Structure 1
Amino acid sequence: MEKKYIFFDIDGTLISHTIRDYISESTILALKKLKENGHFISLATGRAVYLTKEIAKKTGVKSLVCEGGHGIIVDGELKSYEPIDMNIAINILKRCDELGLAWAVSISDNEELVTKNERMNQIISNAKFMRKILVKPDYDYSNETCIRRIIIENNEELYNQIEEIKKIGFMHYAGSLFAFIEPDDKYRGIKKLVEMQGGHEDDIIVFGDGINDLKMFENAKTSVAMGNAIDALKEIATHITEDSDSDGIYNACVRLGLID
């Protein structure tokens, strides 16, 4: 079989959708067989670079598309990263200030967040969100050269008044207290990584389960939705497999003729 370029979402796809951080033995075996058969395998995630290291080590996968398609890692080394467009980010934060929405920003590849609003610190603390937050009353985001993601307090009515949010891509809620605004075009990074490897776009296969997988499913020639995937993803997938907890990845790879 010709070499394929296979990309796996992490949460709910590669990792169990019911057991935290659990990867089934059949999934590990599938990854091993795919590599033995000469296929290129990679992860495709919205996670920050630093949050991919443990899963990369656990799976033995050294190439990743991360940061919602804006980061590319090859052989464990970050080869490419594009932050959020600064003009868009600054406009969003200005509108948040005008509307009285508390916010925080991630400016480095770590768990640290920066805000000038004590209320955002309290919101994140109440949510038991495992991030370190620095409150700087005089913080001026216009002096930054890189903003990776924006977190704002939950107020959907006011969100709709910030048009620039749509220009970044993905907004998802963390419980009921706040929301992330971050890139969501994984396929952008997938296409770039395949080109770097000298591959062809027609040989891309993607696996996923959630809303931030929609763009890669819309663009990839072959797409596999997990049994636990959202309906919108299943509707556009070329294949549907079992749940992540029920040998879904292994079975799909067999049915696609990628492994025996």
Structure 2
Amino acid sequence: MAYRAIALDLDGTLTNHDKEVTPITRQALMRAQKDGAHIILASGRPTYGIAPIADHLEIDKYNGYVLSYNGGKIVNWQTKEELYSNNLPNNVIPILYNYAKEKGYALLGYADKEIITEMPDDKYVKEESRINKMEIRKVDNLLESLESNPTKLLMTGDASLMIKAEEELAEIVGNRMDVFRSAPFFIELVPKGIDKAQSLNRLLELIGLSTNDMIAFGDGYNDLSMLKLAGVGVAMANAVPEVRAEADFITKSNEEDGVAFAIEKFCYEADM
């Protein structure tokens, strides 16, 4: 194997529009794992939202890893051991809550296998539910219902509004946490310094690999750092322009088995 670590964003990258891994892409990843590659699923999703794909790809049998919450948690999927975790500062959570209330934006968190929010009918909250296959639970007060020491909150709204909200929140709390869009309508609210690249660096060191041993795939703003980190950073054809501009290679889209196409090109043709 030319690359012993394969880091994959999920939505818009590994999965198609139905949020499924196609048989062709699964076959390519199973082959790579059998040939010694570690699959690393790196997503903004909560851990529970990544689990079905991790199990579908059988990464527990091949020393695979899950980086959830944009790298806020790292889990060894074989042992289920949590290798790393970071949390939002408690003093910023009321600020985020009050900002969302004032602006009328939906804010959501996670509790075990559920998404919790005061705005369950928001169309973007429903999209987060669909993506993660998690039920939505309406709560009267999100602050009182959040899990203790949350790793991430998510704010949602129309794309044009979220650009402004991202800027405003960065001004208000940017010295204490990170604020960025993972999709035009999603703002990730995470601990300071947490992104996919930093967590991948931690993981690679733990498993004795270098960044040159890794190929990474992504399509969104939150994938930029890991594509720059990897020995080869691959953007999907459907990636946002900023990601395509920074990638080492642009593969086919997530609807055309772009992950499988690039794995064949870089992991196998390079060995021939």
- Tell me the TM-score normalised to structure 1 length: 0.79
Tell me, yes or no, if structure 1 residue 51 matches structure 2 residue 49. yes
Q: Secondary structure at the match of 1:87?
A: coil
Corresponding residue to 1:60 among 39, 58, 61: 58
Give the Cα–Cα distance (whole angstroms) in 2 for the partners of residues 81 and 22 of structure 1: 27
Corresponding residue to 1:125 among 121, 124, 138: 121
Give the Cα–Cα distance (whole angstroms) in 1 for the partners of residues 107 and 241 of structure 2: 32
Give the Cα–Cα distance (whole angstroms) in 2 for the partners of residues 174 and 55 of structure 1: 24
Give the Cα–Cα distance (whole angstroms) in 2 for the partners of residues 221 and 205 of structure 1: 6
Percent identity between matched residues is 22
Q: Which runs of 5+ in 1 are unaligned?
A: 115-119
Q: Which amino acid aligns with 1:10?
A: L
Q: Which residue of 1 aligns with 2:6?
A: 6
Where do 1:178-257 residues align within 5 Å? 179-183=186-190, 185-257=195-267
Q: What is the CA distance between 1:43 and its match in structure 2?
A: 0.9
Contact 1:3 1:40 in 2 (8 A): no
Give the Cα–Cα distance (whole angstroms) in 1 for the partners of residues 106 and 30 of structure 2: 43
Give the Cα–Cα distance (whole angstroms) in 1 for the partners of residues 209 and 74 of structure 2: 15
Quickly say closer, same or farther: Cα 1:134–1:225, change in 2 above 3 A: same
Q: Secondary structure at the match of 1:212?
A: helix
Which shows bigger deviation, 86-95 or 183-192? 86-95
Q: Which residue of 2 aligns with 1:72?
A: 74
Give the Cα–Cα distance (whole angstroms) in 2 for the partners of residues 248 and 142 of structure 1: 37
Q: Secondary structure at the match of 1:151?
A: strand
Contact 2:106 2:156 in 1 (8 A): yes
Q: How many residues align?
A: 246
Contact 2:139 2:145 in 1 (8 A): no
1:109-163: CA deviations, max 9, x gaps? 332425xxxxx43xx31527241121139x5589954363143666555664432
Greater Cα radius of gyration, structure 1 or 2: 1
Q: What is the CA distance between 1:207 and its match in structure 2?
A: 0.7
Corresponding residue to 2:93 among 69, 89, 94: 89
Contact 1:6 1:40 in 2 (8 A): yes
Quickly say closer, same or farther: Cα 1:226–1:87, change in 2 above 3 A: same
Q: What is the CA distance between 1:60 and its match in structure 2?
A: 1.2
Give the Cα–Cα distance (whole angstroms) in 2 for the partners of residues 105 and 230 of structure 1: 25
Tell me, yes or no, if structure 1 residue 34 matches structure 2 residue 37. no
- Tell me the TM-score normalised to structure 2 length: 0.76
Q: Which amino acid aligns with 1:61?
A: I
Q: Secondary structure at the match of 2:111?
A: coil
Contact 1:90 1:141 in 2 (8 A): no
Q: Which residue of 2 aligns with 1:117?
A: none
RMSD over aligned Cα, in angstroms?
A: 3.1
